[in-house]
Structure 1
């Protein structure tokens, strides 16, 4: 039996077994289409990230450090810097635009209420996480995310995504991507602390800040400074500089794996 068939049968078996262990009462109480109560985390904090695109050079240090820190499978990313080749409408001159992407840790995350077992949940500090001990790999949350920020981890066969490196924040460390950013483009902090760097920057640049897909009503908590409004929604663009390939050599492109 080849590896692909074994992996497929293993995944089907896990999904079937997982579904069999989920009583109907649990699905009913999960509050599908409603946001369930937040749990864990510090209720006194609300974490968010501000990405200063004026300082991003597209070096992918954040992508690499995140990949190492969180042991993501080859070809899958919790964060990545999309690189777009754009042309000036009048002159035709081309340039490269960098857009770091990750889970937006929304105030109203659409990925949470669709989970039939509440494996995906929002902490009281706003961070959206996945309990891999509970997740059955149904991928409902992957489909619900409007930011292409989720994937099914081929190692664990459960949902995976950026967590703002909550395990590091909880012990006073910065997320791997923030710590490794050579330009200091990523700023993370507590919005409820008026003296935090992110609070001060958001106050200073309030009129310039943008979020991705605001029309979705998710209230993203990843804010961009220095972004052209044409990139608020997924632009009609082509990859620039480099591409990404999976283990079979197939091109993944410049978005998250599988999208």
Structure 2
């Protein structure tokens, strides 16, 4: 873990999550670091995310993109987990005609479901493919009571899922499990990762795990040339 003990990691994260205060005394700048050398492509993050956020068919906040390089037998497989990048300069927000997508002070890019008109401009303008349209489909045939259960997202009780009513007919995305952060917990994908490939914390705190890992020479961000300044940082 780059010289950082698990005790230090969880201790610092607990303080940041409990107080919602950054290392400079203000709001935290939440960020996620993903160590690609530890990702085994098990898709536990994908499953945990769908279970936590009760996302419908066709909506998967956390996906793992797999790529093979080389020729047999010298083949190398790379697993690239891809949640929402929570960009500091989100291209999705720039094109929203009703300002339904906006930045929270803590750095999370949020969507106001009641304001979203489902135009999907943001989906087209997201360079990471991290946004999804909720067509109102469900897992009712596979899971009894799926549409009647409350989604944990944002702590809101939207009631039974019905086509044409919120939260269907709108655009959805990863929120770093904001409802869990409010309870002092880390995102479901981070908590579930069996290889400890994911780290979550406050970039404003120079002593936090994510701040130290983000400063590592191994660190990089996807499509940095676009100037989006993602809050998801990868380690080579």
Per the shorter chain, which TM-score range?
A: 0.7 to 0.9
Q: CA deviation at 1:92?
A: 6.3
Residue of structure 2 in register with 1:109 after alignment: 90
* Residues 1:78 and 2:61 aligned together: yes
Residue of structure 2 in register with 1:212 after alignment: 222
- Distance in 2, matches of 1:117 and 1:202, equals 34
Among 171, 174, 180, which residue is 2:183 paired with? 171
Structure 2 residue matching 1:112: 3-state secondary structure: helix
* Residues 1:180 and 2:182 aligned together: no
Alpha-carbon displacement from aligned partner over 1:130-163 (angstroms, at most 9, x marks no partner) = 1111111000111110000001012211011111
Residue of structure 2 in register with 1:136 after alignment: 117
Residue of structure 2 in register with 1:97 after alignment: 78
Greater radius of gyration (CA): 1
Q: CA deviation at 1:113?
A: 2.0
Alpha-carbon displacement from aligned partner over 1:168-194 (angstroms, at most 9, x marks no partner) = 112211111001100111111110012
Residue of structure 2 in register with 1:127 after alignment: 108
- Distance in 1, matches of 2:63 and 2:130, equals 10
- Distance in 1, matches of 2:113 and 2:58, equals 20
Residue of structure 2 in register with 1:221 after alignment: 231
Q: How many residues align?
A: 182
Q: CA deviation at 1:59?
A: 0.4
Q: CA deviation at 1:201?
A: 2.1
Among 165, 189, 195, which residue is 2:207 paired with? 195
* Structure 1 residues not aligned, in runs of 5+: 1-40, 227-259
Give the alignment's TM-score, normalised by structure 1: 0.67
- Distance in 1, matches of 2:80 and 2:123, equals 21
- Distance in 1, matches of 2:86 and 2:214, equals 17
* Residues 1:118 and 2:128 aligned together: no
- Distance in 2, matches of 1:129 and 1:119, equals 8
* Structure 2 residues not aligned, in runs of 5+: 1-19, 137-167
* Residues 1:158 and 2:170 aligned together: yes
| 1:53-64 superposed matches below 5 A | 53-64=36-47
- Distance in 1, matches of 2:171 and 2:227, equals 23
Among 30, 41, 50, which residue is 1:67 paired with? 50
